[in-house]
Amino acid sequence: MNLSEGTMTASKKTMTLNLTDAEMSALEELSAKKDLSKTALVRQALRLYQLVESRLEKGEKFFFEGEDKTAKAELMIL
């Protein structure tokens, strides 16, 4: 961590990400919809994936529930 004006910030690394046209389109559409940069969206997706993975490792389950609360679907991650 670097000290900058009294605050601690994490050092950052740069990487190249190869996406298909469909994946890039999805990234661009979501970043526009959420008003986030593509980098911010990828960071947010990574944090979400980490959260889901840690909860699944604890034996918890992840469900989507319909508005009427009768239809449920379990999310399974390989």
Phi-psi region of 56 (alpha: psi -120 to 50; beta: other; left: phi over 0): alpha
Residues 6+ apart with CB under 8 A from 44: 36
Along the 78 residues of the chain, how does pLDDT read in single tens digits?
A: 444 555 667 898 999 999 999 999 999 999 999 999 999 999 999 999 999 999 999 999 989 999 988 889 998 887
Structural domain spans, the chain: 21-75
Instruction: Name residue 23's amino acid.
Output: E
pLDDT for residue 69: 86
44-55 confidence digits (pLDDT tens): 999 999 999 999
How far apart CA 30 and CA 55 sit, in angstroms, is 25
pTM above 0.85, yes or no: no
Residue 52, Cβ density class (10 Å: 0-12 exposed, 13-18 middle, ≥19 buried): middle
